[in-house]
Amino acid sequence: MSEQLVELDELRARFAAQFAAATSSSELEVLEREALAKGGALAAVSRGLGALGPDQRKEVGAHLHEVRTELTGMLRERREDLLRRERTARLEAERIDLTEVVGAPTVGHEHLVTRTQRELEDVFLGMGFSVVEGPEVEDDWHNFEALNFPPGHPARSSWDTFHVSLGDCDDVLLRTHTSPVQVRTMESQRPPIYVVAPGQVYRRETPDARHLAVFHQIEGLVVDRGITFGDLAGCVDTFTQAYFGEGIHARLRPGFFPFTEPSAELEVVCLFCRGEGCRTCSRTGWIELGGCGMVDPNVFAAVGIDPEEYTGFAFGFGIERFAQLRHDINDMRVMLDNDVRFLSQF
């Protein structure tokens, strides 16, 4: 076999291998120039044809054509293959994933204190009470005077109360309890009265684990003929069992409030030890929830209700305290922080 035929076979084998090994269309383009272009390997063989005799030239020429055709075909196939891959890779890289899951939109929910307030309202609604609301900015008369606080009472001082500065008018304040709502109710409607007044109240306190300057209360008021201290005791025991569960009883201990006489502190059996005595209840077996008592006749006189005809009882609870007990929260300040790590737990 002639030297040129051997060379052509070698060229064919070499380029076939290189085309197959090319990893990009641009690499393939370089190889194409090396193999098939004017200054390429096959062109060099072609240039040598003139130096051969007629028979050999014909034989080598035919083989050259064959090799060129073969390599051209391989090149086309390989180019198509590489371009297809490159296109796929580019599309993949540029892809915008329209199917991406962004998660369901999150919807907020009521604050723990608001929810606790609604739950307490529900219990009282179930017991036949109505819910009443009133202003958070009050006058001295509705917040103190009508409730039998004597003029020099310490609660009325600027140490305990936020007073609103309005120039000449110096008796406006942020309510320190929701009792003024009940005073307004007694002013505007005749007995029988069975109401609870929930809402935000304000005291000049330095916040700590068990006190806030802004907190929530729910107070209750019953005014009717023949209401006794026994009705009060039955009402608060019914309430505590309805809210905390059967067997969680209330007890009353003597106490003092200017607006009730007699007055009592209201306690429930410790929810954690059921009366055995533990750390939460300071080993007493009881937890203080609020206060209560029979409405003082002076309060009735202030709102024009005849204390000879009507008697009544009232009670007051701190709403944060209920949330704290039910959810075992040791520092009340978290209720005002608005930290979602706290809020989203409820």
Query: Which residues in this chain contact ligand 2NL in the complex, by CB under 6 A?
Result: 179, 182-183, 217, 219, 221, 257, 259-260, 290-293, 295, 299, 314-318
Q: Transcribe 141-195 into DSSP letters.
A: HHHTGGGT--TT-GGGSTTTS-B--BTTB--EEE-SSSHHHHHHHHHHSPSPEEE
Q: Cα–Cα distance between 265 and 21 in angstroms, integer?
A: 92
- Structure tokens of 200? 């935000």
Helix H or strand E encompassing 24: none
Q: Residue 140 or residue 219: which is nearer to ligand 2NL going by CB?
A: 219
Closer CB to ligand 2NL, 286 or 317, in the complex? 317
Please, what is the minimum distance in Å from the beta carbon of residue 258 to ligand 2NL? Answer: 9
Strand partners, 311: 224
Whose Cβ is closer to ligand 2NL: residue 314's or residue 332's? 314
Nearer CB in complex with ligand 2NL: 161/179: 179
Nearer to ligand 2NL, 75 or 186 (CB): 186
Minimum distance, C-beta of residue 179 to ligand 2NL, in the bound complex (Å): 4
CA–CA distance, 111 with 100 (Å, rounded to integer)? 32
CB of 169 to ligand 2NL, least distance (A): 24
Nearer to ligand 2NL, 8 or 318 (CB): 318
Nearest distance from C-beta of residue 289 to ligand 2NL, angstroms: 8
- Give min distance, CB of 235 to ligand 2NL, in A: 13
Q: How many CA atoms lie within 13 A of 188 on its CB side?
A: 11
Which residue bears the tokens 């209360």?
217
Closest approach, Cβ 173 to ligand 2NL, in A, equals: 17
Distance of closest approach, residue 177 Cβ to ligand 2NL, in angstroms: 6
Q: Are strands 286-295 and 260-269 parallel, antiparallel or unpaired?
A: antiparallel
Instruction: Give the residue with the Cβ less far from ligand 2NL, 4 or 260.
Output: 260
* Cα distance between residue 345 and residue 328, in whole Å: 12
Tokens representing 323?
């949330």
Beta carbon nearer to ligand 2NL, 24 or 130: 130
From residue 315, give the alpha-carbon distance in Å to each of 14, 245, 248: 101, 20, 18
In the numeric block, the tokens 């024009």 are attached to 304
Give the residue with the Cβ less far from ligand 2NL, 48 or 262: 262
Rounded to an integer, what distance in angstroms lies between the CA atom of residue 108 and that of residue 106?
Answer: 7
Which spans in the chain are helix H?
A: 3-21, 25-36, 41-48, 54-94, 112-126, 140-143, 179-188, 229-244, 297-303, 319-327, 334-337, 340-343
In the complex, minimum distance from the CB of residue 266 to ligand 2NL, in angstroms, rounded to a whole number: 8
Tell me, what DSSP letter sits at residue 104? P
- Closest distance between ligand 2NL and the C-beta of residue 140, in Å? 15
CA-angle at 238, arms to 249 and 285, nearest 5°: 15
Residue nearest to ligand 2NL (CB): 316
